[in-house]
Amino acid sequence: MTASNSVLVSAPGKVILFGEHAVVHQKYAVAASLGLRTHLYIERTQDGICTLELSDVGVSRHWPLSSFPWDAVRDEKEGDHPIKDMDAGLKTRLVELAGDFANDAQEQALMAFFYLVMSLATPLKERTGFKISTRSFLPVGAGLGSSASYSVVLATALLIVFDYIPVDFASSANSASYFETINRYAFKAEQVIHGNPSGVDNAVAAFGGAKTFLKGKGFSTLEGFQSLRLLLTNTKVPRSTNALVAGVARRKEKYPEVIDPILTAIDGVSLRCKNAFLDLQNGTKDATSLITELEELVDINHCLLYALGVSHPSLEKIRSITGDHGLASKLTGAGGGGCAVTVIRDEVDQATIDTVMALLGKEGFDCYQTSVGGPGVRAVNIDANEDLAWMSRVDMETLEQKFL
């Protein structure tokens, strides 16, 4: 990035097909990237000020970089990562720096931002100013990985502005290591937002595609996956991933003999899905039996998640409406409201989908028909002759396409 350049970064959200929550406890999950992305504009400035415009959560602030609590960082170097965890002392100083938060969403977004700036800029002798503005097509806090998508674009933009990675990281000879670095920092930001994330969301947002994921072991490509018709329905019931993940951990601690087998059963669901796609690839299963199996697994997985205490009446309503039309749905992401995913067989005609969407719309829900399995994070240099920081998400997407 040169002083005159500005960069657009974007990263996808994700849909978890199988394995949410269980994946936090070292079980398999199956997830794919979504066509809905978060876009971020970053411009380097010479004034030592960082300006942050997060319109999706209503943040518009700026701070001199000199006011950051650089002295509160412990000298605890872990590779290129100077801050291991956000200790209480540093957290207090950052909360003071932020001033008031209108809600938890702002607090989580700002603390993740501060954490990344402190981590990346602490070792630097000179700290350049910058202007960041983000816009997302993802519903925030609805189970489609908006936090991971935000964490990935933020980590990427800051790694670029502080000269850790080049703008063309994705096509460079070192791309594998650059993607790993982005993913590692994004995971740290997810930890600030989620408390105890598995890492599946940031891995999908960073690398894209359809993956199986095991915490601590990373991900592999979902062999045999080509495409899948899905309907996503947002109940618009607000919930927090952080609180839901903590709730499952409490249930597991209180009833280990009951909850552990449920988590193992969910592991089995994810592995069956993985094997079903492999069988399709090897020609030992046809597309019709694959989709029938996926529908049954969707049903089983939802009921297991219900037993973990993460469903919601609005999600049961979606299951009932789609079920009346022969379609299988499950909650996706952390649950407790948020989104459900419905598998659509090839032979289901658009009229049926329209009817179902109209019924879901009548309940006040939003529906999305979007592609899955697309690319992960990417960045492009753009010409910044005008003030582009406040453009709309549609403008950001259009501009990105132009420079790709």
Ligand X SMILES: C[C@@](O)(CCOP(=O)(O)O)CC(=O)O
Contacts with Mg ion, residue ranges (CB under 5 A): 147, 241
Selected from 155, 160, 193, 367, the binder of ligand ADP by CB under 6 A is 193
Tokens 């329905």 correspond to what residue? 233
| Closer CB to ligand X, 308 or 382, in the complex | 308
* Interatomic CA distance for residues 94 and 239, integer angstroms: 25
The footprint of ligand X on this chain (CB under 6 A) covers a number of residues equal to: 17
Active-site residue identified among 198, 201, 240, 329 = 201
* CB contact set of 201 (below 8 Å; sequence gap of 6+): 14, 31, 145, 147, 148, 190
Selected from 198, 233, 311, 314, the binder of ligand X by CB under 6 A is 198
The helix (H) or strand (E) run that includes residue 171 is: none
Nearest CA among 182, 174, 166 for reference residue 5? 166
Yes or no: say if 397 and 39 are a contact pair by the CB < 8 Å rule. Answer: yes
156 forms part of the interface with ligand ADP (CB under 6 A): no
Active-site residue identified among 136, 147, 240, 314 = 147
The footprint of ligand ADP on this chain (CB under 6 A) covers a number of residues equal to: 23
150 forms part of the interface with ligand ADP (CB under 6 A): yes
146 forms part of the interface with ligand ADP (CB under 6 A): yes
Q: Residue 139, Cα to own-chain centre: how many angstroms?
A: 11
376 forms part of the interface with ligand X (CB under 6 A): no
Query: Footprint of ligand ADP on residues 299-338 (CB under 6 A)?
Result: 333
* Interatomic CA distance for residues 24 and 247, integer angstroms: 12
Tokens 């993802």 correspond to what residue? 138
| Closer CB to ligand X, 241 or 270, in the complex | 241
Yes or no: say if 241 and 150 are a contact pair by the CB < 8 Å rule. Answer: no
Q: How far is the CB of 321 from ligand X (least distance, A)?
A: 22
Q: How far is the CB of 278 from ligand ADP (least distance, A)?
A: 29
Angle at 375 between CA 333 and CA 120, to 5 degrees: 80
Selected from 23, 32, 118, 154, the binder of ligand X by CB under 6 A is 23
| Closer CB to Mg ion, 31 or 273, in the complex | 31
Task: Give the binding range for ligand X (CB under 6 A) out of 1-9, 16-24, 50-58, 81-89.
Answer: 16-24
Q: Within 13 Å, how many C-alpha atoms sit on residue 203's CB side?
A: 22
Nearest CA among 126, 10, 2, 153 for reference residue 66? 126
Selected from 108, 122, 128, 147, the binder of ligand X by CB under 6 A is 147
* Interatomic CA distance for residues 188 and 85, integer angstroms: 8
For residue 170, what are its two tokens? 């994705």
12 forms part of the interface with ligand X (CB under 6 A): no
56 binds, among Mg ion, ligand ADP, ligand X, none (CB under 5 to 8 A by kind): ligand ADP
Nearest CA among 41, 40, 49 for reference residue 129? 49
245 binds, among Mg ion, ligand ADP, ligand X, none (CB under 5 to 8 A by kind): ligand X
Secondary structure (3-state) at 52: strand
**Does residue 60 have an active-site annotation?**
no
Nearest CA among 368, 367, 235, 239 for reference residue 314? 235
| Closer CB to ligand X, 201 or 400, in the complex | 201
Site string for ligand X, 237-256 (x = CB under 6 A): ----x---x-----------
* Interatomic CA distance for residues 324 and 336, integer angstroms: 22
Q: How far is the CB of 193 from ligand ADP (least distance, A)?
A: 5
For residue 47, what are its two tokens? 């004034």
Query: Footprint of ligand ADP on residues 97-116 (CB under 6 A)?
Result: 105, 108-109
Selected from 12, 129, 197, 376, the binder of ligand X by CB under 6 A is 197
* Interatomic CA distance for residues 349 and 359, integer angstroms: 16
Q: What is the DSSP letter of 54?
A: E
**Does residue 147 have an active-site annotation?**
yes
What pairs with residue 61 in β-bridges?
A: 52
140 binds, among ligand X, Mg ion, ligand ADP, none (CB under 5 to 8 A by kind): ligand ADP
**Which residues of the chain form contacts with ligand ADP (CB under 6 A)?**
38, 54, 56-57, 105, 108-109, 134, 136, 140-147, 150, 193-194, 240-241, 333
Give the residue numbers annotated as catalytic, written as ranges: 147, 201
**Which residues of the chain form contacts with ligand X (CB under 6 A)?**
20-21, 23-24, 143-145, 147, 194, 197-198, 200-201, 241, 245, 333-334
